[in-house]
Amino acid sequence: MRFLLLITCLFTSLLLYAEPIELLSPDKQLTVRVEKGDSLSLEVLKRGEFLYRVDNIAMRTDVGCMPGTKAKVKKISRTSVCQEHRPIVKELNAVIQENYNQLRIEFQDRVSMEIRAYNEGVAYRFVTPFKDDFTVYHESSTYSFNEKCDFIFQRDKDPGSSCEESYVTEKVGKLTSEDMCNLPALVSTPNSQCMVFLEADIQDYPVMWLKTVNGKLNIHHWNYPADYLNTNNYYNKRAVTQRCDYIARVKGNRSFPWRAMAIADRDIDLLSNQLTWLLGEECRLEDTSWIKPGWTYFDWWGRRGITGVDFEAGLNTETAKYMIDFSAKYGISYFLLDDGWNKGNLLHPIPGMNIEEIAGYCRSKGVNLMLWVSYHQLYDKMDEVFEQFEKWGVKGIKIDFMARFDQEMVRFYWEVAQKSAQYHLVINFHGAYSPDGLSRTYPNVLTREALAEFEMNGVTNRISPIHDCTLPFIRIVAGSADYIPGTMLNASRSKFRPIADTPLGQGTRAHSLAMAVISYSPMQMVPDAPSVYYAEDECSRFLFSLPVVWDETRAISGKVGEHVAIARRNGSDWYVGAITNWDSRKLSFNFDFLKEGESYKMEIIRDGVNASTTATDYKYEIRDVKKGDTVHIDLAAGGGWIAKILCQSDK
């Protein structure tokens, strides 16, 4: 943090406000109007035009409604902040600018509401100062938009969801009582302004959903668990079968999660939004030197497609060593033993799987070992398991099958993030809810799923180029995404079919590689068998030379569901990815982001002339470029384009 401007003004009143209390964003483009009558509400405008309104903002608790129905405004304080952050893990930028105006309204019942207006969005939360704990039965907020707005969301009613549904689009005015969704979700206005529902800093409280009631979107929470499924199946043993009549029991003195809305004039302005990270709690770790982002190879599909070896591939030590050799050859940082290395007990691997030997082999090759675990296996024996993992030399974990959104599960995320940091373990959350800024507080949480990603190609055709062109504007606005890019098993629209053991990727080879830039993750995983990558060595070397963290991100071009083009910088080198949906497309853009006076060598993988019908067809090219040059690219149906633009003065 290099620069901090803090201005605070206090106003005191004991009046029930009849006139709205206004808050402006630093650039004065956004206006937030807060009203307190019998209920609390706020309205957001952009350059004087209505964007949305939130009514009935309150918590119903065992000690009454907060804030109280007739609670008067006691005090108003205003704060302005302008500062820089340097994140431990550079997901999008090495320096993150934070600039907001904050309004804090304290009511006579001592409940406070904090509202922040950023140039790129608005957020609000409750703060309570009470000595005694209390129970929250229900939280309400009713969102209203122009009924002609498009609402793009994952239609989902399942409290055991893994957030892997496809995105659907409905007019706000056409939503019915059957429509529910998890976050994030996108609202697009008739004049093309965009808003993304987000939530941040979820601590000891359930995760927010949205539910349509009387034609309007209301926040929804799943109640606290009362009983669980009792089976020997470690995938779903703690699935909830009965719930209590409340959503949370909380400390009296605390702040509640931020209800945030990213706001942009154009679709592409969402691609660099980091509101979720900014609203997360600051890092709690003193030593973060051990946290290392990197490419990850995992054995889930890889062990099923190995050829040209003298051993039987499968769940055994010999297969693991073969994959570690592959990882070492291509400079891949982590090797993950996925589901199957144990049969329910994390302390006892299956016969033929020597974890201590595998970990030692990893160390000898400069590769870090990760292990897959399920939530049920870990939740009540965390210390015992982590102590054993430390003895084995494990450096990371992939935690799967949480698939819940209640207060108890949120506590688990925080506990496992904190305890894994004690044992210097990085984390990849699968079967998870969307990012909420936890990676800022515990940067060892490198990535998470919470999206329909590549693995779904084994059972469905939903992970299409249209889906790929939607993710950056919704799910990835919330934070890093474990999409699993980089398959070499590419298929055109007419030739694709789901194959469970060896899934194909929809779209071209260049599209698949470009997703490694489009979908950012400090822990990028890849799906194919080593034999496949060895056979495609030119593309493999290109793919694994790409960074997974970024010093700067520039959105170039894009429209939800149609196409995306993004440039990201690592050091003095730039990396550009572009993809399209099932429509072929021509794009042109200028290299105005390059440094003046420097010369660059650009390595390109683009769609081959026959890529629309033979998706594996690609062309590799090298050319010289400089600042101000313009590139013209032809994207095939489901196509892509990716470039490494390497500064020559550093070489």
Which amino acids are annotated catalytic? 400, 455
Largest interatomic CA distance in the chain: 82
For 123, the token pair is 């957020």
Ramachandran class of 628: left when φ > 0, alpha when ψ lies in -120 to 50, beta otherwise: left
SS3 517: helix
Q: How many residues are listed for the chain in this entry?
A: 651
Q: Cα dihedral angle (427, 432, 436, 439), rounded to 10 degrees?
A: 0
CA 128 to centroid of chain Cα atoms: 29
CA pair distance 623, 61, nearest whole angstrom? 65
Is the CB of residue 122 less than 8 Å from the CB of residue 30? yes
> Which residue, among 627, 574, 584, has the nearest Cα to 606 in the 3D structure?
584
Is the CB of residue 332 less than 8 Å from the CB of residue 294? yes
CA pair distance 255, 125, nearest whole angstrom? 7
Let me know the angle formed at the C-alpha of 18 by 17 and 20, rounded to the nearest 5 degrees.
Answer: 80
H-helix or E-strand spanning residue 553: strand 552-559
The 3-state DSSP composition of the chain as helix, strand, coil percent (nearest 5) reads 20, 40, 45
SS3 424: coil
DSSP readout, 170-212? EEGGG--TT-EE-S-EEEE-TTS-EEEEEEE---SSPPPEEEE
Which residues sit opposite 601 in a β-bridge?
Answer: 624, 646
**Number of other residues whose CB lies within 10 A of the CB of residue 286:** 5
CA pair distance 183, 205, nearest whole angstrom? 15
| Residue 507: partners with Cβ closer than 8 Å, 6 or more residues away | 464, 465, 468, 490, 491, 579, 615, 638, 639, 640
CA pair distance 239, 250, nearest whole angstrom? 23
